[in-house]
Amino acid sequence: MKYTKYLPYIILGVVLLYGFKSDAARDQFQKMKTLTQIIRLVSENYVEEVDMNDILEGAIIGLLDKLDPHSSYISSEQFELINEQFGGEFEGIGIEFNILEGYITVISPIPGTPSDRAGLQSGDKIVRINDVSAYKITQKDVLKKLRGPKGTQVDVTISRPGLDEDFDVTLVRDKIPIVSVLAAFMIDDKTGYVKVSRFSKTTAREITESLDELENQGMQQLLLDLRNNGGGMMDQAISIVDMFVSSRDTILFTKGKIPGSSEVYRARKSNKDKDYPVVVLINRGSASASEIVSGAFQDLDRGLVVGETSFGKGLVQRQYPLRDGSAARITIARYYTPSGRLIQRPFDDVADYYSDLGRDNREATDSTLAEKPKFTTKNGRTVYGGGGITPDIFSALDLELSSSTRKVLSHPDRPTFKFSGEIKSEIQGKFDNFQDFTSSYNIEGKKKKQFFDWLEEKNIEFEKEELEEDWTYLENRILSEAASSIWGKKYLFMKLMDEDSQAQDALNHFHEARELISSFSSPGTVSE
């Protein structure tokens, strides 16, 4: 209720701002008066006590929701976490975790962090924090208790699979990098693979370091995986495209109404640009900055785009901090690719806007492509607008899993991860390296029965026949989790590649990506 007393002053401010020079201003003033009246009626007369802070926050959220799907209100609690996500680092102990069976379970220690240096392992459970039980702890409380200023200590008690007794570890908090590049490795003797999960403050630097390492290993072509990358910082996306473009081409332009919102972003001419073919892999979860990158590669004929039509998020938000520590994220412009394509999908109905992503027939056919607006790339190829980035080569993820398999994979206790811990010691005892492991180890016979028995023991519902049908995929998921916990995170993706139909398909199209480079015309600039 504390905010209700300020509403008359807000209304007065509107009056002073607009005066009564227009009918629109008078209508807005009347609506503000009505809002004040409703808030007072609820506060004074509603049958139950209500939290007026929540009511007012809901009104703010509703106001911004009316604008578009991406303008939003960010509470003070959310504000700090969001800034962390894209800021490149936070201070804490350095673990990726899930809460499984009521306990904080280490998915993987982040390399070079206090948890890694202390020897924490994948599968470890944190059962006590500062000698207080951590059973049934919430995710929010995990962050409160384990994060903290650099140099401060936190005592944790660890329960490790295979050990009879728990043990104590003292961790000294440190700066923890938020990694954008989840994996970078050689698929074969000439093909490099880089998986990018977000565009944060350090993404361009991380990619540069990854490419340098892969080039030293003999990389002659790159598979850039932007699937399920929801975007992030625009400048990082521009910097990444800039690495591969040697002329002053337009990478992106924006259009808005306020000063500074309409801009053209061009590549910087450099002799240090990468000259090898690139295939960019996208899906319907690739959004915003991912679409800037894939759209620029496509429009400038610098790389081939393979996969599914991207999300279609082409609205530019500016984040305005508010006095109470919260923030308003407001759309100020629209993104356009070099050829002039608007990335943003239509959003007349917000519910349809999100449900559309799940449609099986979402991808363009020959008939629907004919209805889409056509644009021309730098070298004269036809590309299509209408929202999102339509790939050059459509490739669906060939993954038709049974309901039992989906239940197992989506179960909150992460059965494939936990079972990988059951076989981890056996793998470590048999194999010195990933190559020997992945070429000869399999889960059959008693080990396979052990997995089914383990699912029953955990009361996870499944039909054995359905899991048998999907066993190749399930086995690969279990073994990828094991590889990650033994040799490091990138080996998770190396092993998953075995059953990744989209990635395997993308590898078949490097000759087309190479042709794009060889067909470059004289340097020019594509612009709006």
- Residue 115 bears catalytic tag: no
Distance CA 517, CA 515 (A): 5
- DSSP per position, 192-253: EEEEE--B-TTHHHHHHHHHHHHHHTT--EEEEE-TT---B-HHHHHHHHHTT--S--EEEE
φ/ψ region of 199 (left if φ > 0, alpha if ψ in -120 to 50, else beta) reads beta
- Residue 288 bears catalytic tag: yes
Number of residues that this document lists for the chain: 528
Catalytic residue among 195, 313, 424, 495: 313
Structure tokens at 269: 């001419």
Catalytic residue among 288, 310, 395, 480: 288
Q: Are 103 and 349 in contact (CB under 8 A)?
A: no
What sign does the CA torsion over 238, 240, 243, 249 have?
negative
Q: Which residues contact 474 (CB under 8 A, 6 or more apart)?
A: 405, 408, 409, 416, 467
- N-term to C-term CA, the chain: 51
* 323 φ/ψ angles, rounded to the nearest 5 degrees: -65, -25
Residue among 305, 306, 310, 307 nearest 284 (CA): 310
Determine which helix (DSSP H) or strand (DSSP E) holds 404, and give its type and residue range: helix 403-410
Distance CA 414, CA 400 (A): 20
- Residue 122 bears catalytic tag: no
Distance CA 203, CA 123 (A): 28
Catalytic residue among 124, 242, 299, 505: 299
> DSSP secondary-structure letter at 394?
E
- DSSP per position, 438-470: HHH----THHHHHHHHHHHHTT----HHHHHHT
Q: Are 308 and 283 in contact (CB under 8 A)?
A: yes
- In whole angstroms, how far apart are CA 431 and each of 95, 248, 454? 26, 51, 25
Give the amino acid at 31. K
Buried b vs exposed e over 250-280: b needs ≥16 C-beta within 10 Å?
A: bbbbbebeeeeeeeebbbeeeeeeeebbbbb
- In whole angstroms, how far apart are CA 198 and each of 206, 220, 227, 286, 291? 11, 25, 10, 10, 12
Catalytic positions, please? 288, 299, 313
